[in-house]
Amino acid sequence: MKFVTYLAKRTVASVFAVLGALCLIFFISHVLPGNPVLSRATGASLGTIQQVEQQLGLNRPIGAQFVDYFSGLAHGDLGDSYVTGRSVGSDLAQRAPASIELALFATLLALLVSVPLGIYAAVHQGKLVDRIARALSSLAVSMPSFWVALLLIYVFYFKLSVGAAPLGRLDASLTPPPSVTGLYTVDSLIDGQFGTFVNAVWHLVLPAVTLAIVVTAPLVRITRATMLEVLTQPFITCGRALGLSERQVIFHDALRNSLASVLTVAGLVFGYLVSGSVLVEQIFAWPGIGQYAFSALTNNDIQGIEGFVLVVAVTYVGVNWLVDLLYGVIDPRVRV
Amino acid sequence: MSIAAEFQVRRRILHPSWARGLAGEHGLLAGLILLGVLVLAALLGPVIVHDSPTSTAYGPFSPPSAAHLFGTDDVGRDVLARVFHAIQLDLLLAAVICVLAAVAGAVIGLFSGFAGGLVDLAVMRLVDIMMSIPAFILALIIAVMLGNTGQTMVLAIAFAYTPVAVRIVRSQVLSLRELPMIETSRAIGTPASRIVLWHVLPNTYSVLIAQATLFLAWAILDTAAMSFIGVGIHPPTPELGAMVSEGSQDIVSGQWWVSIFPGAFIAFLVISFSLVGDGLRDYLDPRGQR
């Protein structure tokens, strides 16, 4: 199979996955017996409820609502929130950079810790270091993220007073840098505001560490497992027989051949973090899409929730698609 | 799978040499012990500690002391008494979720794998679609749409886990279907329903049980996370996630015990279930031994 065919196949599959997810979301929000008006307006008379339903178009046949929903989406319109009256699409777009910045930092942090740890554990398989690494990663994956966040806030903000207050992306006294990428760390450097950059990083540390702790385990596991597998291959033995140094064998030969699997999991982790940080964003008052989802949930804002799940599905599928693409670039065997 | 390997699987399921096997699986053993301690605590705790989980008579924010080992919360309830009741509730919720998801997954997976063809294709596409949304988010939106109660949360989480069980059972069925024993059974005229229920289903148990134990771990985390953000179980009902949430406002002023203790027990429960789940998977699956 040629790489182009492979790519086309993956793209078509991804598009169908997103469309399927949209149908599922539509089904959940429009067909399941929950009534968005009723659930908000407890105590309202039946007449009022019907009137509101008519205004919102909720009393129309499901088929017509389905067509409306998809034609809106095709025009890039995620609808207006029933609660705030604002456009869900522009709200989410405005908040996306904050979530992306956090997820990016958390993923990088997790990779920096877990890849070396995974390599070390694989090279010393079965020894004490390996056992400790595995025990630590099981422990990390078992701790609820919201609890880790509170623990870090207590220790580093309250006790040691070195962490930033869990109140958003910058100190209240600072103004955000002019938006280029939307990532405060990058934008402040572009604008040359070093003080703002340091402050932005300082605010990123605690939430990013929280998320990194949660996703370390799968990264350590995959690094260790693929390294173990690669290290048994004949070409490794051959390299050693040829007198290559152990460092050369591990980092140059084994690691490079393990990278594809690590990358796959890292992509999944990043996709999960962009969307999966509802709890952590809420705790750190981080103005990303997770916090938006939280307020939509607590206000029973159906349009807002739908928009959020749409973004989640697109990110998740999109990142997987990108990883498949990179996989083809890294590993030439995928292309033949 | 060769006949020898098949025999191996059947022998291990029918005659598990628990003593030998468990001794070799440190993780499994540790998980079972921790789980036993937690279940005992949930059952015996309320008998030993007489404090009421809902009474506010103990004075707000008293730090951990001999009278109140885990301290008291913002309205003066005993945190330890609430933790005991919360573990009971969380274990119950997780068990219901796990059974619902495992049974639904087994039924659909068996049907899909055995029917094959278009039915199988349709089921698997649906499974793919459900898995393109993270399980927690999928469960969250369904729970809210259905009306944000404890029951809807349980249903929603079980629904979100089902595709995982479907995939596992189906892949088992696909490989079991080709076994000589099934072929023989068919050749002597055993009805399909009997083959599925008597020969295929029991052989999926080992993998399904290991996965179901992991469902328990996920369910503890997800019910706590949902209740933390106000979906599912609501205060003042003692639930571990909701308790962490109740104390989260006060942690910046130093009252750590209100959230840290309940959260630690979420972690203990999850660790014990994942140790047991991973251990069972390694123990019951002779092919996957690393």
Chain A residues within an 8 Å CB radius of B141: 25, 28-29, 305-306, 309
Percent of chain B beyond pLDDT 90? 34
Percent of chain B beyond pLDDT 70? 89
Q: Report CB contact under 8 Å: B230, A276.
A: no
Find the CB nearest A294 among B132, B145, B229.
Answer: B229
Which tokens is B147 given? 């009306």
B251 touching A (Cβ < 8 Å): yes
pLDDT on residue B288: 47
* Residue B72, SS3 per DSSP: strand
**Averaged pLDDT for residues A198-227:** 89
Is pLDDT at B10 greater than 60 in this prediction?
Answer: no
| pTM beyond 0.90, yes or no | no
pLDDT on residue B15: 52
Find the CB nearest B266 among A21, A144, A300.
Answer: A144
Is pLDDT at A329 greater than 90 in this prediction?
Answer: no
**Averaged pLDDT for residues B191-204:** 86
Is pLDDT at A158 greater than 70 in this prediction?
Answer: yes
Find the CB nearest B146 among A32, A141, A154.
Answer: A32
Give the gap in angstroms from C-alpha B139 to the nearest C-alpha of chain A: 11
- Highest average pLDDT, of A2-6, A233-237, B238-242, B252-256, comes from B238-242
Chain B residues within an 8 Å CB radius of A23: 129
Alpha helices in B147-253 (DSSP H): 150-177, 180-187, 192-194, 201-228, 240-248
Q: Report CB contact under 8 Å: A313, B136.
A: no
Chain B residues within an 8 Å CB radius of A155: none
Give the gap in angstroms from C-alpha B248 to the nearest C-alpha of chain A: 7
Give the gap in angstroms from C-alpha A191 to the nearest C-alpha of chain B: 33
The Cα B79–Cα B256 span in angstroms is: 12
Q: Report CB contact under 8 Å: B271, A278.
A: no
Model pLDDT for residues A4-52, shown as the tens digit of each residue: 787 888 888 888 888 888 888 888 877 776 555 555 555 566 777 777 7
Model pLDDT for residues B101-140, shown as the tens digit of each residue: 999 999 999 999 888 889 999 999 899 888 888 888 889 8
Please tell me which residue, A172 or A284, carries the higher pLDDT value.
A284
pLDDT on residue B42: 87
Q: Closest-CA residue in chain B for A312?
A: B133
Chain B residues within an 8 Å CB radius of A297: 140, 144, 229-231
Is pLDDT at A213 greater than 70 in this prediction?
Answer: yes
Across chain B, mean pLDDT equals: 84
Give the gap in angstroms from C-alpha B10 to the nearest C-alpha of chain A: 28
- What does the H/E/C string look like for chain A? CCHHHHHHHHHHHHHHHHHHHHHHHHHHHHHCCCCHHHHHCCCCCHHHHHHHHHHHCCCCCHHHHHHHHHHHHHCCCCCECCCCCCEHHHHHHHHHHHHHHHHHHHHHHHHHHHHHHHHHHHHCCCCHHHHHHHHHHHHHHHCCHHHHHHHHHHHHHHHCCCCCCCCCCCCCCCCCCCCCCCCHHHHHHHCCCHHHHHHHHHHHHHHHHHHHHHHHHHHHHHHHHHHHHHHCCHHHHHHHHCCCCHHHHHHHHHHHHHHHHHHHHHHHHHHHHHHHCHHHHHHCCCCCHHHHHHHHHHCCCHHHHHHHHHHHHHHHHHHHHHHHHHHHHHCHHHCC
Q: Closest-CA residue in chain A for B278?
A: A138
Chain A residues within an 8 Å CB radius of B123: none
**Averaged pLDDT for residues B14-21:** 50
